[in-house]
């Protein structure tokens, strides 16, 4: 398998970079694209044609950090590979059947009907993969599991899954709502935004840029949005780093507890995402303060190399505690699986 990773979102050079990559690998039979937001008209993973491409462009402003850069790659790939199917795999699909009470904002009907204001939820490809791995690890069918899944990375969210279906999640209309994230603020009092505009004259563009790129762990610490940096800085006495981590882990506990409120029981707490995989200090600080849910600290710390090779680890060790698992992030594998499924091709990755 050929892999090419990039640390930055696709830019104007995406077409050239993709062309170079394709020149080094066998011609693909199909291309699966991760698209964060499906918008209101697409409720399943789908082939990308001209009408679908137009629908995606129309919702790009709902996930500005994700959809526009992804569409650059879609356009480049469709131009370079015009004779193979291109499949849009959406993070929102996992949450498409959210109960009405979980997807509905308490705003006037006109806003909901005319403007389409509702909660969508994200990280669905990651959650789909983690849920299947969790069922395998616990030896139970997916449709008999009630779990809270937590994706912690550059973006962070939590999700309640009841019998195989997402029934609540912390992200909303956009991927800005919910938990504190690396550079994104997470949920904020809407009155604070009105006050900043009215009292201090902040523009929509300034609010957008600050909340998406200069808040979260970076905004709290003033130095980094990376938990690894902040754990080291805290150990060296950096008070801002300590506050950033404390605020972040409290936000995660709040999110997990609120998701558990949509379940009858908690069969497992599952961590995935870059932070979820590779930050034992964060996992420990979250779990050690969730005893009210039957979760305990004193977690095992698997070697990252072992986790990546095996795909998951159960890390709880307290007697009669809720199982706590770490699942290696599987968004790429899930995109491949969804693409094969849509095209009717046998999936041998599971």
Q: How far is CA 138 from the centre of its chain?
A: 23
- The DSSP call for residue 291 is G
Q: Is residue 91 flagged as an active site residue?
A: yes
Closest CA to 45 of 54, 58, 56: 56
Distance (Å, whole) CA 55 – CA 174: 16
Q: What angle do CA 279, 285, 290 make, to 5 degrees?
A: 130
Q: How far is CA 146 from the centre of its chain?
A: 19
Question: Which is the catalytic residue, given 91, 226, 267, 316?
Answer: 91
Tell me the C-alpha to C-alpha distance, in Å, between residue 243 and each of 154, 167, 194, 223, 239.
Answer: 18, 32, 26, 12, 6
Residue with tokens 């403007």: 115
Helix (H, G, I), strand (E, B) or coil at 258: helix
Angle between helices 239-260 and 280-287 (to 10 degrees): 60
**Residues known to be catalytic:** 91
């Amino acid at each position: 398998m050929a892999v090419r990773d990039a640390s930055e979102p696709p830019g104007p050079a995406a077409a050239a970079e993709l062309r170079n990559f394709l020149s080094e690998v066998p011609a693909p039979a199909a291309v699966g694209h991760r698209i964060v937001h499906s918008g209101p008209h697409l409720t399943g993973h789908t082939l990308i044609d001209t009408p679908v491409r137009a629908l995606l462009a129309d919702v790009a402003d709902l996930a500005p950090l994700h959809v526009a850069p992804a569409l650059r790659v879609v356009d480049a790939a469709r131009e370079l590979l015009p004779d193979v199917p291109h499949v849009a795999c959406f993070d929102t699909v996992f949450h498409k059947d959210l109960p009405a009470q979980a997807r509905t904002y308490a705003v006037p009907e006109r806003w909901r009907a005319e403007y389409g204001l509702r909660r969508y939820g994200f990280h669905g490809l990651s959650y789909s993969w983690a849920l299947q791995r969790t069922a395998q690890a616990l030896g139970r069918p997916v449709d008999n599991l009630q779990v809270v899944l937590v994706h912690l990375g550059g973006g962070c969210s939590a999700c309640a899954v009841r019998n195989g279906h997402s029934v609540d999640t912390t992200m909303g209309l956009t991927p800005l709502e919910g938990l504190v994230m690396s550079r994104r603020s997470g949920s904020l009092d809407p009155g604070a935004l009105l006050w900043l505009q009215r009292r201090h004259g902040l523009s929509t563009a300034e609010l957008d840029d600050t909340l998406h790129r200069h808040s979260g762990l970076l905004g709290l610490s003033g130095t980094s949005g990376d938990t690894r940096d902040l754990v080291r800085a805290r150990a060296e006495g950096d008070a801002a780093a300590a506050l950033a981590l404390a605020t972040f882990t409290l936000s995660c506990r709040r999110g997990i507890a609120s998701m558990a409120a949509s379940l009858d029981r908690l069969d497992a707490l599952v961590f995935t995402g870059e932070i979820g995989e590779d930050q034992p200090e964060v996992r420990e600080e979250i779990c050690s303060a969730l005893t009210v849910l039957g979760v305990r600290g004193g977690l095992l710390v698997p070697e990252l190399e072992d986790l990546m090779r095996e795909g998951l680890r159960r890390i709880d060790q307290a007697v009669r505690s809720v199982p706590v698992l770490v699942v290696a992030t599987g968004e790429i594998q899930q995109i491949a699986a969804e693409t094969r499924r849509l095209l009717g091709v046998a999936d041998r990755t599971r």
